């Protein structure tokens, strides 16, 4: 049966309670709230700007025995009501680095009861976005980023489930070729579909101020293809507004960040050492990131032959980076 290209994203949102064993309940959207707007933007990104075609690419790369037509068929079917994932506003997981998570179950189970068809979104982040509103668009941007990122993961769970039910070999892990920047350091064995999707939606890997010294308080996007130049763009407030309202534009397209002056402040980092910037901070650095950038520019303007390195980290403790998931 030929699937028709979807025009809408069927959204079902529930929320869990803080008490163990407390059942989920339907989530009530504010009539014009930031969480509702985030879903509208993600729908625009996938169904109008072209990210749905990237999902078809992901299926094609992950399932070698599927034809291009079959990959596209299941990409479209994924957006049907009853197949598209449920979203859980999760108030049991907390922390500044937790935005969203998809738990891929053992046994290729995509039923809602198993959790295989669910995306958990941070309740703290939802509350922050609703509270801040237009005063601070960064929480809203994080919601858009988290939802669009996790959709790529759950789509692969759906494809693996379909393949297993058709007698295909069981698959749990994303193939290594579906990755970007290898932010977990296991790229030779396991890929990362969410970061692969980020590359196409945002134009690179998305970072936040506590993840890298290359930030001035704004979300940043890093374009790996320009190494050793290491091009970063620190997304401007004007660009954040444009993203929030992109569903009202006539011809939205991806990538959203194109490394143009209107996207924000661009920084060419000449340290060439990305892994050190990926190490999350456990304690604040002595010099704020924005001050370090300003100081570096002052040294450049004075014709300094060599730049001082950023303050050394006081820890090498490793942890997840913002958007987390397991079993991929």
Alpha carbon 145 to chain centroid, angstroms: 4
Lowest mean pLDDT among 113-127, 216-230, 299-313, 314-328: 314-328
Name the residue among 216, 225, 181 with its Cα closest to residue 323: 181
Return the percent helix, strand and coil in the chain, to nearest 5.
40, 10, 50
Residue 88 pairs with which residues in a beta bridge? Answer: 14, 120
Query: Distance between CA atoms of 325 and 184, rounded to whole angstroms?
Result: 11
pLDDT for the residue numbered 305: 35
- Residue 244 CA, chain-centre distance (Å), reads 15
Mapped onto helix, strand or coil, the DSSP state of residue 266 is strand
Q: What angle do CA 100, 102, 107 make, to 5 degrees?
A: 170
Pairing of strands 100-101, 205-207: unpaired
Average pLDDT of the chain to the nearest whole number: 80
Tell me, what DSSP letter sits at residue 182?
Answer: T
Chain segment 318-328, per-residue pLDDT in tens: 233 334 333 33
Asked which of 11-20, 168-177, 252-261, 302-311 is least confident by mean pLDDT, the reply is: 302-311
> Cis ω on the peptide bond leading into residue 255 (within 30° of 0)?
yes
Average pLDDT, integer, range 158-169: 90
pLDDT (tens digit, 9 = 90+) per residue, 143-152? 999 999 999 9
Give per-residue pLDDT as tens, 75-123. 999 999 999 999 999 988 777 678 999 988 766 688 777 778 999 999 9
The pLDDT, as a whole number, for residue 317 is 30
Comparing C-alpha atoms, which of 156, 133, 194, 135 is closest to residue 63? 156
% of the chain exceeding 70 in pLDDT? 75
Higher pLDDT, 189 or 263: 263
Q: Tokens in use for 160?
A: 């693996």
- Averaged over 254-263, what is the pLDDT? 94
Rg (CA), the chain: 20
* Mean pLDDT comparison of 5-19, 91-105, 294-308, highest-scoring range: 5-19
Residues of the chain with pLDDT > 90, as a percent, come to: 51
CA distance 141 to 215: 16
Of the given ranges (80-94, 121-135, 226-240, 268-282), which has the lowest mean pLDDT? Answer: 268-282
Strands (E), 238-318: 264-268
> Does pLDDT of 258 surpass 70?
yes
Please report the pLDDT score of residue 219 as a whole number.
Answer: 92
Q: Is the pLDDT of residue 263 over 90?
A: yes
* Cβ contacts of 253 within 8 Å, gap of 6 or more: 49, 50
**280-291 mean pLDDT:** 38
Q: Closest by alpha carbon to 45, among 221, 259, 211, 247?
A: 247
- Taking the C-alpha atoms of residue 287 and residue 285, their distance in angstroms, rounded to an integer, is 6
Q: What would the two tokens of residue 25 be?
A: 């309940």
H or E, element range at 89:
strand 86-90
């Amino acid at each position: 049966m030929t699937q028709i290209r979807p025009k809408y994203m069927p959204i079902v949102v529930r929320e869990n309670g803080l008490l163990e064993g407390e059942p989920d309940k339907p989530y009530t959207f504010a009539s014009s709230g930031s969480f509702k707007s985030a879903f509208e933007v993600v729908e625009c990104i996938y169904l109008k700007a072209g990210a749905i075609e990237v999902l078809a690419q992901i299926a094609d790369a992950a399932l070698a025995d599927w034809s291009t037509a079959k990959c596209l068929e299941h990409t479209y079917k994924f957006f049907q009501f009853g197949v598209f994932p449920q979203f859980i506003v999760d108030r049991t997981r907390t922390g500044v680095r937790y935005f969203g998570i998809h738990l891929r179950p053992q046994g290729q189970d995509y039923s809602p009861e198993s959790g295989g068809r669910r995306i958990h979104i941070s309740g703290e982040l939802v509350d922050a976005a609703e509270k801040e509103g237009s005063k601070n668009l960064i929480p809203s941007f994080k919601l858009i980023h988290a939802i669009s990122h996790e959709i790529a993961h759950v789509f692969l769970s759906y494809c693996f489930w379909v393949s297993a039910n058709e007698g295909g070999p069981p698959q749990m892990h994303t193939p290594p070729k579906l990755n970007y920047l290898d932010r977990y350091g296991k790229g030779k064995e396991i890929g990362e579909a969410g970061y692969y999707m980020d590359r196409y939606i945002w134009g690179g890997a998305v970072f936040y101020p506590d993840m890298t010294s290359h930030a001035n308080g704004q979300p940043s996007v890093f374009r790996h293809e320009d190494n050793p130049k290491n091009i970063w763009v620190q997304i401007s407030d004007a660009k954040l507004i444009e993203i929030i309202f992109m569903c009202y534009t006539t011809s939205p397209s991806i990538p959203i960040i194109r490394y143009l002056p209107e996207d924000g402040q661009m920084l060419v980092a000449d340290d060439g050492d990305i892994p050190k910037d990926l190490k999350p901070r456990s304690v604040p650095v002595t010099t704020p990131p924005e001050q370090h950038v300003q100081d570096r520019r002052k040294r450049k303007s004075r014709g300094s032959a060599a730049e001082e390195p950023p303050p050394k980290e006081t820890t090498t403790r490793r942890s997840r980076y913002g958007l987390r998931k397991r079993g991929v």
